[in-house]
Amino acid sequence: MNNPSQQQWHQSRMNREARFRWYGRSALIFSVLMLAILLGSIASRGYLGFVQTQIKLPIVYDAKLLAPEEGQTIMDISASGYNRLVQAALRAEFPEVTDQTQLHRLYALVSLSAGGQLKHQLATAPDLLSHATDIWVPAASDVDQCIKNDLLCLKQSNDRLNDEQIIWLRQLDEKGQVHLAFNRNFFTHGDSRTPEQAGFLGAITGSLLTLAICLLASFPIGVMTAVYLEEFAHKGKFVDIIEVNINNLAAVPSIVFGLLGLAVYINMMHMPRSAPLVGGLTLALMILPVIIIATRASLEAVPPSVRDAARALGASPLQVVCHHALPLSMPGIMTGTILGMARAIGETAPLLMIGMVAFVVDTPTGFSSPSTVMPVQIYLWGSSPELGFAEKTAAGILVLLVLLLAMNALAIFLRKRFETRW
C-alpha cells in the first residue's frame, strides 16, 4: 500500500500534468482567437473591395456633343472625351446647378473612368448613337467610400464631400439611381492611380507568369540534384559540404536571393528589370533548397528492398532510379514542390530588389513584359494615402490567401491520394 508521501508525489505530478494540458489548450485557444480576429478584420474590410458604387444616368450618345474633329470618327475620340456625355447627363438631372464651381463639384460625383465605359459600350452596340439609354457608371472614390462606410451619408456629414454633394447624392438615391454592384474591374483591370479604377488582374497575371518560370527553372534542377546526391554520389567530405550548404540555404533570408538576382541576372546578364523572367529565376534560387531537401527525403523513404529487387532482375542503377525509386517518391516530391511554390507566391523582398515594385498599369503579355506580383501590388496599395486603396489592399490579401490555401490543400490532397505506406 502506498504511503502518504508517495500519494502526495503522485497527486503533485498529476496536478503538474493537468496544468501543462491547460497551458497547451490556452495557447491553442489564444492562437485560434488571434487568427480569427486577423482574418475577420481582413474579411470585413476586404469584401468592400469586391463591390463598387454605381450611379445610373440617362446617357445620350450625341455626336454633336462629342464634337469629333474633321476626318475623325466617333470611335477615334479618346475615352476622356466621352466624359462630356456624363457631364451632360448630370446637368440634365440637376438643371438648377449652373455655377461653374457647383458644376465642378457635381461632375466630381462620377469617376473619370466612366468615359472609357461609355466608349466601350458604344463600340459593342453602335446603334446606341443618337439614342438615350440608362447606364450605371462608377462613382468617384470619395462617393464610393461615403456609400460603403456611412450609409449614403445620412447619419453624419462627410469630410471629403461637401453639403451640396451629399444632398445631390441623397436625391439620386431617393430616385433609385445609386446602388452597390459587384466590382468586375477588380478582376479585369490593372493598377491605376485612382482607387475606383484599380484592379488586380495585372498582379495575378504577373504572379502566374513568375511562378511558371520559377517552376520550370527549379523543379528539374532540384530533382536531378537530389537524385544525384541520394542515389549516385559517393559519401565523402565534398558531398557533406554540399549537403550542409543546401540545408543552410533553406534558412537564408529571402532578401539575400533578391540581391543575388540583382547582381547576376540584371547587372551581369542584363535581363529586363521588373519582368516575370527575372522574378521567376530569382524565386527559383530561393525554393531550390526546399525542393532538394523534400526530394531527398522522399527518395530516402523508399525501402531498400525495392532497389534490391530491381537490381536482382537486372536493372541498371539508372533504371532503378527512373523506373522504381523516383515514381514511388513522386508524391512527396510534388508536395514539397507545391509548398515551395506557395512560399514563393507570397514573397515580396527578393522581388523588390529586382525592380518589380514599379507602377504597372497594363497587364503583362509575356515573360519579359514589365509586371508586378500580388504581394508587391498589395504593398503598393497599402502604402497609398487614399482611403479607397485600403479596401483594395484587404481584397488583394483575401485573393492571395485563397490561392495559398488552395495550393496547400492541393499538396495535402496529393500526399493523401498517392502516398504509399510501407
101 lies in the same domain as 222: no
Determine, yes or no, domain membership for 92. Answer: yes
372 lies in the same domain as 248: yes
315 lies in the same domain as 409: yes
Residue range 50-74, pLDDT digits in tens: 999 999 999 888 877 776 666 667 7
Mean of pLDDT values over 114-137: 84
Cα–Cα distance measured from residue 98 to residue 254, given in angstroms and rounded to the nearest whole number: 59
CATH of the domain at 229: 1.10.3720.10
164 lies in the same domain as 238: no
Residue range 369-392, pLDDT digits in tens: 888 999 999 988 988 888 888 889
306 lies in the same domain as 356: yes
Question: At residue 28, does pLDDT exceed 70?
Answer: yes
Mean pLDDT computed over every residue of the chain: 86
Stated pTM of the model: 0.84
- CB under 8 Å, gap of 24 or more: what pairs does 376-385 form? 376/203, 376/348, 376/351, 376/352, 377/191, 377/200, 377/202, 377/203, 378/203, 379/348, 380/191, 381/198, 384/195
170 lies in the same domain as 222: no
139 lies in the same domain as 264: no
Question: At residue 393, does pLDDT exceed 80?
Answer: yes
Predicted pLDDT at 2: 55
Determine, yes or no, domain membership for 12. Answer: no
Q: Structural domain of residue 83, as residue ranges?
A: 51-183
206 lies in the same domain as 307: yes
Mean of pLDDT values over 261-289: 91
Residue range 199-214, pLDDT digits in tens: 999 999 999 999 999 9
Which among 183, 218, 237 is the end of a domain? 183
Determine, yes or no, domain membership for 255. Answer: yes
Determine, yes or no, domain membership for 68. Answer: yes
Cβ density class 228-244: b for 16+ within 10 Å, e for less: ebbbeeeeeeeeeeebe
Composition of the chain by helix, strand, coil, percent to 5: 70, 5, 25
Determine, yes or no, domain membership for 190. Answer: no
208 lies in the same domain as 128: no
298 lies in the same domain as 170: no
Determine, yes or no, domain membership for 41. Answer: no
Determine, yes or no, domain membership for 367. Answer: yes
Per the structure, the count of domains in the chain is 2
174 lies in the same domain as 251: no
Determine, yes or no, domain membership for 2. Answer: no
Predicted pLDDT at 213: 94
Residue range 138-186, pLDDT digits in tens: 999 888 888 887 654 544 555 677 888 888 988 998 889 999 999 988 9
